[in-house]
Structure 1
């Protein structure tokens, strides 16, 4: 041991217990000298116990948190533990390792503080897996590892470069406009405007002037010419949301635009051309509206050139944890906060809820939780009662444990498939020991 090291003020006991823990654990005295250093800490940092014990903790870890955001210093000053603060350390080879840190004070038999303890978890594999998932199935504002959503994203990438009309079908809140923007931004029209119009929010008279514009004197109050949304879109994209709400009379005018690529502003006899690409969206089944006679068949065929059907969130629940984590990161950035994440009970409630408002409802739920949770982990007390209060009814008799087991089973099967049946590699990807994986295979009935 380096002669320059000082002798710690106390020596931690129970090394055998600490060595059985998979997280890195070390303790310091009030002089900031490392007093104990378990086996996992050696493996994560690449520094031996002999070299660590007796050294100042900042010489061992070289963390981005050591100077201004030292979690252990904050705990020793306040006496309060910290849970899952994220940062990074630099290992013996100079590699940056993302870690999650938790701290607590150490007291003697009289209750006097004599030092502190810190546990840290290596997040490298989790970060790698998260990056892989986002890289494989991300598109604009969408992230997913659901096979149904990935198929939609692949088709969206394929049609982005085409001038063809696209119809996006999906329930309210499923992200139709987000997908339309992603298609626009990936295509050759990305430098031109993206103009969105909610067709269901305007009566016919206003919708017509909004889409096609009007000339001075076309009606009372029309004091000047005003270009419409088709003119504003130019050679870009016009997004017609909730097109199933359009009246039969307006459907005729839209049909002409799609067929002949021209229109007349209100109060004008001059025909104007449009080169804008049309992307339409609906939360209704247009084929049934055609059968009932409330939607023109010829217009339906014109907008139904390429159809992208967004699955509802309840049919791709494997995306819920990924989306929830994404929204936590988003609102941490927006609010300048460090909310550490979501409790397991919240994930279970999310998986049992049917999400009638889809992804928009999930995002709103996370934003609401941010208002209530401060800097704490989001728990059930921060959720609307409708989400966690009716989970048993919505789960149709299935327990939270069954839902959790099913999600865990799906994750394990997917990991084994990705690693071509190599269970050792699958266990490493999942961040668990191989023997733990075999126990889960047996308990969950996975062959």
Structure 2
């Protein structure tokens, strides 16, 4: 190669080859926010080919949480200097959230004229997966947990899903019974068929029957045409009967017949219709006690209670709060176009001191309340609902290590559940007894 060749500026084809050779995604935009170039790594990360991306607005391609607020590229275009965003994600063509870091700068030609902006972004999915693995959290569907009780449930979930047996899910209000039912359905061979949920306690008997079994034209006033019920809509899939303990004895007889004979008759109908659905029922009450008190039919109880899953309340799995908070913040960042990164130590300590009678649903509502008020990166005590902030008291959480507070509560709760038997508490927590003894001593827990 001659000296002249070495001094020749890189042509467009050479630049394209170089950009396509790097592992980071790179794209450029003009002043109308339309994409003017898109390298191969950007195609692989987003799932969108170069031809479809070029000429589109960048927010239509990336659908990132920073597109409408906190956009690093917009800051670069407005202020003329580079920026880095370390807490961002995009949504690819498979609707999967991809965590990224993004670096932006102005796109300037050889004459010093600004042509637009350039952004380089890196896929951190592997790093994020490794981080979750190292911290011990297990994710199944929309559920995430690091508690031994939930991990035991997750371990047997594939076998439960593989079976077609009826499932009874017990747990307090807000523990995630419907999420568990959906996880079973989505892991089963019925996952490509409908999942239909109905709250049995919210409807009177006649309306509940028509909703579940459907009705024929002329069955009652205003029934001007046939209407299929939930059992027909869920054919070959799963039907979720929430709050089944609130049904009347008369309805329980009708439901028992469906479970026994796998067929039902729509209201006002004559011919029986076949039912091929899996039944998953749920309740926040103790059905065993209700059966003993003759408040729930024993024969129906045994039909739905082939497999029982008991979901622990949040106060028995406080170690899951950081994982749940992270999940809710990520979801709300996408929905509200914000970039909140987490909780202040004081808020986390306040959460660890709260019993959460409303369980996971209460925690989610608190985070959503905070999102309305928080305009910064971290949620503080000022953003919490007044009732929780008042209960925490002035300076709640100050000078406390939230991790130590969480470990202390987790250990003391396990000891209480096991009558201060440290060996049993260690098994409950899924750790070795010597590890438990060390933590008790380190945290200064009085037995």
TM range (shorter): 0.5 to 0.7
**Which residue pairs with 2:73 in the alignment?**
68
Partner of 1:304: 305
Instruction: List gaps (5 residues or longer) in structure 1.
Output: 1-64, 89-96, 102-122, 424-437
Pairwise CA distance, 1:69: 7.3
What is the aligned partner in structure 2 of residue 316 from structure 1?
317
Partner of 2:174: 173
**Structure 2 match to 1:336:** 337
CA contact (8 A) 2:341 2:377 kept: yes
Provide, for residues 172-196 of structure 1, a one-character-per-residue CA deviation record: whole Å limited to 9, x for no partner.
1111111111110111001100011
Q: Superposed, which structure 2 residues align to 1:93-104 within 5 Å?
A: none
Deviations 1:28-53 (A, max 9, x none): xxxxxxxxxxxxxxxxxxxxxxxxxx
Q: CA deviation at 1:291?
A: 1.3
1:372 aligns with 373
The alpha-carbon distance between structure 1 residues 84 and 341, as it changes in their structure 2 partners (threshold 3 A), is farther
TM-score, normalised to structure 1, is 0.64
The 8 Å contact of residues 174 and 359 in structure 2, kept in 1 or not, is answered as yes
Residue 85 of structure 1, CA deviation: 5.3
**Alpha-carbon separation, structure 1, partners of 2:398 and 2:375:** 30
**1:133 & 1:309 partners in 2: Cα distance?**
27
Q: What is the rounded CA distance, in whole Å, between the counterparts of 1:151 and 1:218 in structure 2?
A: 48
Deviation at 1:367, TM superposition (A): 1.2
1:158, 1:145 → 2: CA distance?
20
CA distance in 2, matches of 1:358, 1:409: 19
SS in 1 for 2:172: coil
Q: 8 Å contact 1:211–1:229 — kept in the other structure?
A: yes
Give the CA deviation at 1:306.
0.1
Determine whether 1:186 maps to 2:191: no
Partner of 1:294: 295
Please report the RMSD computed on the Cα atoms of aligned residues, expressed in angstroms. 4.1
Give the deviation of 1:165 after TM superposition: 0.3
Number of residue pairs matched by the alignment = 326
Aligned to 1:267: 268
* Equivalent-residue separation in structure 1 for 2:313 and 2:293 (angstroms): 25
Task: Determine the C-alpha separation between the residues in 1 that align with 2:81 and 2:287.
Answer: 64
Deviates more, 1:320-329 or 1:187-196: 320-329
- Looking at structure 1, the residues matched to 332 and 155 of structure 2 have their Cα atoms a distance apart, in angstroms, of 28
Task: Give 2:163's aligned residue.
Answer: 162
Superposition deviation, residue 215 in structure 1 = 0.7
User: Are the aligned partners of 2:349 and 2:406 in contact in 1 as well (CA < 8 Å)?
Assistant: no
Q: Is the Cα contact below 8 Å between 1:352 and 1:403 reproduced in 2?
A: no
Change (3 A) 1:130 1:388: farther
Q: Distance in 1 between matches of 2:345 and 2:147?
A: 21
What's the TM-score once normalised by structure 2's chain length? 0.64
Are the counterparts in 2 of residues 348 and 400 from structure 1 also a CA contact under 8 Å? no
- Residues 16-415 of structure 1: pairs in structure 2 closer than 5 A: 68=73, 86=87, 127=128, 130-132=131-133, 137-391=138-392, 401=400, 404-408=403-407
1:273-298 Cα shifts (integer Å, max 9, x gaps): 10000000001000111111110000
Distance 1:400 1:189, change over 3 A: farther
> Could you say what secondary structure the match of 1:256 adopts?
helix
Instruction: Check whether the contact 1:328–1:366 (CA below 8 A) recurs between aligned residues.
Output: yes
Equivalent pair of 1:156/1:308 in contact (CA under 8 Å)? no
Structure 1 residues 235, 148: closer, same or farther in 2, change over 3 A?
same
Q: Rate the CA distance shift 1:209–1:445 in 2: closer, same or farther, 3 A.
A: same
In the alignment, the residues of structure 2 paired with residue 157 and residue 323 of structure 1 have an alpha-carbon distance, to the nearest angstrom, of 22
